[in-house]
Structure 1
């Protein structure tokens, strides 16, 4: 099914989307979450998972949720920034790639990085390591609001990732964020064209109101 908001978001880089959200006063940057390959790019709607430390009295599992996800989904895993154990590895990467998921975003660590690089499957995480999350963490809930690098992510929010990191666009504000992103991108492209034609950077920025593009407005 065509998702016009996702298609529009995918045409912008994270810097432009971040600038648009700055102007609206939205905290959309997932701080500290970086791509395992700078060539990776992702864009899609979030499926969220929250992890907690293992309950020794009633242990759960790390989750088989990938089985049920449709193509184009971004898997968003909140492991509270833990870097001492992983919540995503090669088997999940293989299945996610096969199913055509848009990528995985983790506030925590992944492992088996070589396979995501080989398959070109986008993984964004706080770090990577090799120690399993089995018997250390378990799924607490899916389809709930989670926190990724200081930004709240709810089911259905739009995530965009590129070489700079990941931003999250609240679904109910997507239209206004994307309208501003279009405006900012148009102005910045005009500045680039003007300086390529010999205009000074100072004059080009003044002409196209560069210094007010990201300024929050009352």
Structure 2
């Protein structure tokens, strides 16, 4: 996959990319995910992981971290469960050592002191100390998952910052990058104009601000 496009997306914030996705009528926001370490950012391709509840036969919580390439993003679908965690200190240590770009979880995490000490980019729906072992297990990796009702496929681009987390489908990335860069450039022109004393109305009108994210 094209690494140069990931590099270009890494220079953008989630709001510009979200507006670009709106302009083509595609959902991208992964609602409810927040940074454990404010100020950390993520941009990389998704490595997907799916958890399901245990039955009589207990499954493993997974050693999939050994299979993730440096620069990729762990995307965990734990069905939004808040009663058990699927990420803790040992996984953070290994992911950080292996230069994984970050982790996003539709669910909760634990061992926050280690996550913060390492400055690891981790986004989740909260924290809770109860282990997922014998409660949930990994039933597959490398297939499409659902995060906050949005499909994430292996290889999709995940972008996260303090505003939230978004997913850019790989099949749309070449179309989206130019739109997002254009929106960011126009937002920059508006900012420069108002800092120079222009009215907000005039600055916005000069770049057609009110139609930037409107579906074409």
SS of the residue corresponding to residue 128 of structure 1 reads: coil
Give the TM-score normalised by the residue count of structure 1. 0.97
Q: CA RMSD in A?
A: 1.1
How far the C-alpha of 1:7 sits from its partner, in A, is 0.4
Contact 1:29–1:150 (Cα < 8 Å) also in 2: no
SS of the residue corresponding to residue 199 of structure 1 reads: coil
CA distance in 2: counterparts of 1:186 and 1:8, whole angstroms: 13
Contact 2:42–2:161 (Cα < 8 Å) also in 1: yes
Contact 2:89–2:114 (Cα < 8 Å) also in 1: yes
Gaps of 5+ in 1: none
CA distance in 1: counterparts of 2:4 and 2:70, whole angstroms: 16
After superposition, residues 93-104 of structure 1 pair within 5 angstroms as 93-104=92-103
Structure 2 match to 1:31: 31
Contact 1:35–1:163 (Cα < 8 Å) also in 2: yes
Structure 2 match to 1:12: 12
SS of the residue corresponding to residue 79 of structure 1 reads: strand
CA distance in 2: counterparts of 1:209 and 1:203, whole angstroms: 10
Once the two structures are overlaid, the 10-residue window that deviates more, 4-13 or 191-200, is 191-200
Alignment partner of 1:81 is 2:80: yes
CA deviation string 1:178-217 (max 9, x = no partner): 1110110111111111112221111111111000101111
CA distance in 2: counterparts of 1:196 and 1:33, whole angstroms: 32
CA distance in 2: counterparts of 1:203 and 1:114, whole angstroms: 47
Contact 2:17–2:180 (Cα < 8 Å) also in 1: yes
Gaps of 5+ in 2: none
Contact 2:37–2:120 (Cα < 8 Å) also in 1: no
How far the C-alpha of 1:55 sits from its partner, in A, is 2.3
After superposition, residues 102-181 of structure 1 pair within 5 angstroms as 102-181=101-180
CA distance in 1: counterparts of 2:173 and 2:183, whole angstroms: 15
Structure 1 match to 2:66: 67
Count of paired positions: 216
CA distance in 1: counterparts of 2:89 and 2:116, whole angstroms: 11
CA deviation string 1:57-103 (max 9, x = no partner): x3210000001211101001000000000000100000000000000
Contact 2:18–2:28 (Cα < 8 Å) also in 1: yes
CA distance in 2: counterparts of 1:2 and 1:100, whole angstroms: 19
How far the C-alpha of 1:149 sits from its partner, in A, is 1.4
How far the C-alpha of 1:2 sits from its partner, in A, is 7.1
SS of the residue corresponding to residue 138 of structure 1 reads: strand
SS of the residue corresponding to residue 124 of structure 1 reads: strand
